[in-house]
């Protein structure tokens, strides 16, 4: 049987998608070989790649004046690619710091240019929150403003898209496709696939046309957005299987009714888990309500000594990967698109039964 998987990444994939991939594994559409064994330049593969892009464009309503790139190196390589491509003549950018991932991004950017760090993490009544944008000290000559929509480790998420004048660059790794976004508000959106899209090995970059060709001259061509855009993300061999599988996830999402439909389910899932935690004296979530992540829900138990038992019993109940990130401890339930409402219901009943026995 398939358990419910609450892993933060690589994360759960829809069972229907894995079954389709399994069915096509040995003999893709009667061609006598798997998709993994095909040239990325063959007509068959290019059609698969283009279909994936078209479906993602449909799902996110991506305007014509944006390119969609299917790259490698994870979100972490974008921490370097973004400054190398976008810093431009002023060589300066604003970075909003809200947690571990936005910090990693700004540390890389500092290697290439002048980084103005806006420390936007705060505590309100002992709960983690993001400061009001009106208090941010943004520069007036930044080439772009970078932030991470959802801090996957902390479980801290922006309630709204910041409103800035410089092109807005967002790390959407753990929240892309979980809720509708207006792509027009952004210069660039990027996301590692392994949280809410597909398997590890693929990174999506959505970039506005006017930002494609301002890269530093010494940048490797593989990292250069302009080159990748001109070459259909095939400056070199792309991650063909991850791209194909992500395409199956996009098809699945469209069948579910698209992002609006999955958003409703995601809201129900998050509401169920947070309301249970809030009503309980045994569990606690450390995030202010306005900035709670819809995708990653960290929580602690009243007695830290029970953590190991909690994880062991959860696993026996087919509820997997609930340990918090090694840097923060505690528990974390990642409830991405592929985790169904039934998974969260099963988690909440287990938590309740556990609390009754140990509370
Ligand atoms: C997981 C994650 C990353 C890192 O992704 P890699 O693909 O492993 O480089 C960056 N940012 C956020 C918000 C993440 O959740």
Question: Ligand 1 pocket, 174 CB below 6 A?
Answer: yes
Nearest CA to ligand 1 atom 8: 74
Nearest CA to ligand 1 atom 7: 74
Q: Output the average pLDDT for the chain.
A: 97
Q: How far is the CA of 161 from the centre of ligand 1 (A)?
A: 19
pLDDT score for 132: 97
pLDDT score for 87: 97
pLDDT, one tens digit per residue, over 305-334 is: 999 999 999 999 999 999 999 888 899 999
- Ligand 1 atom with least separation from CA of 76: 9
Nearest CA to ligand 1 atom 10: 75
**Alpha carbon distance 113, 20 (integer Å):** 46
pLDDT score for 110: 98
Best of 10, 11, 75 for a ligand 1 pocket test (most atoms within 8 Å of beta carbon) = 75
- pLDDT of 238 higher than 90: yes
CB atoms closer than 10 angstroms to residue 217: 5
**Alpha carbon distance 193, 143 (integer Å):** 26
pLDDT, one tens digit per residue, over 67-102 is: 999 999 999 999 999 999 999 999 999 999 999 999
Give the confidence band of 108 by pLDDT, cuts at 50, 70, 90. Answer: very high
Question: Ligand 1 pocket, 195 CB below 6 A?
Answer: yes
Under 8 Å between Cβ of 129 and 148: no
Mean pLDDT of 335-356: 98
| The dihedral sign for the CA sequence 245, 251, 255, 259 | positive
Give the confidence band of 248 by pLDDT, cuts at 50, 70, 90. Answer: very high
Q: How far is the CA of 106 from the centre of ligand 1 (A)?
A: 13
Under 8 Å between Cβ of 35 and 240: yes
Percent of the chain clearing pLDDT 90 (strictly above): 97
pLDDT, one tens digit per residue, over 118-146 is: 999 999 999 999 999 999 999 999 999 99
Q: Which long-range contacts (CB under 8 A, 24 or more apart) does 20-27 make?
A: 20/248, 21/244, 21/245, 21/248
Measured torsion, CA atoms of residues 287, 288, 290, 296, in degrees rounded to the nearest 10: 10
Question: Ligand 1 pocket, 152 CB below 6 A?
Answer: yes
pLDDT, one tens digit per residue, over 34-75 is: 999 999 999 999 999 999 999 999 999 999 999 999 999 999
pLDDT score for 328: 85
- pLDDT of 111 higher than 90: yes
Residues acting as catalytic residues: 101, 171, 195
DSSP lists the bridge partners of residue 207 as 67, 188
The region of weakest confidence among 24-33, 199-208, 253-262, 324-333 is 324-333
């Amino acid at each position: 049987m398939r358990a419910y998987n609450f892993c933060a990444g690589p994360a759960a994939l829809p069972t229907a998608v894995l079954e389709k991939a399994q069915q096509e594994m040995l003999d893709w559409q009667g061609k006598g070989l798997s998709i993994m064994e095909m040239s990325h330049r063959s007509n068959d593969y290019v059609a698969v790649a283009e279909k994936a892009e078209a479906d993602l464009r449909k799902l996110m309503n991506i305007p014509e004046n944006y390119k969609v790139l299917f790259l490698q190196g994870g979100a972490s390589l974008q921490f370097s690619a973004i400054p190398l491509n976008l810093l431009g003549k002023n060589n300066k950018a604003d970075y909003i710091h809200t947690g571990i991932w936005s910090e990693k991004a700004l540390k890389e950017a500092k290697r290439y240019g002048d980084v103005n760090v806006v420390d936007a993490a705060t505590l309100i009544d002992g709960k983690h929150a993001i400061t009001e944008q009106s208090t941010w000290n943004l520069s007036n000559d930044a080439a772009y403003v970078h932030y991470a929509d959802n801090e996957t480790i902390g479980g801290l998420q922006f309630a709204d898209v910041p409103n800035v004048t410089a092109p807005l660059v967002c790390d959407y790794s753990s929240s892309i496709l979980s809720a509708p976004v207006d792509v027009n508000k952004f210069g660039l959106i990027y996301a590692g696939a392994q949280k809410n899209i597909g398997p590890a090995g693929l990174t999506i970059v959505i970039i506005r046309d006017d930002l494609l060709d301002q890269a530093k001259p010494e940048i490797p061509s593989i990292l250069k957005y302009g080159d990748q855009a001109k070459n259909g993300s095939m400056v070199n061999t792309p991650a063909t299987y991850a791209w194909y599988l992500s395409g199956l996830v996009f098809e699945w999402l469209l069948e579910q009714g698209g992002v609006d439909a999955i958003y409703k389910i995601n809201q129900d899932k998050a509401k169920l888990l947070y309301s249970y935690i809030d009503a309980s004296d045994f569990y606690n979530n450390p995030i202010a309500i306005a900035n709670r992540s819809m995708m990653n829900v960290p929580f602690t138990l009243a007695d830290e000594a029970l953590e190991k038992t909690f994880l062991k019993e959860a696993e026996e109940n087919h509820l997997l990967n609930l340990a918090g990130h090694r840097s923060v401890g505690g528990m974390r339930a990642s409830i991405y698109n592929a985790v169904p409402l039934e998974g969260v219901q099963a988690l909440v009943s287990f938590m309740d039964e556990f609390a009754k026995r140990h509370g």
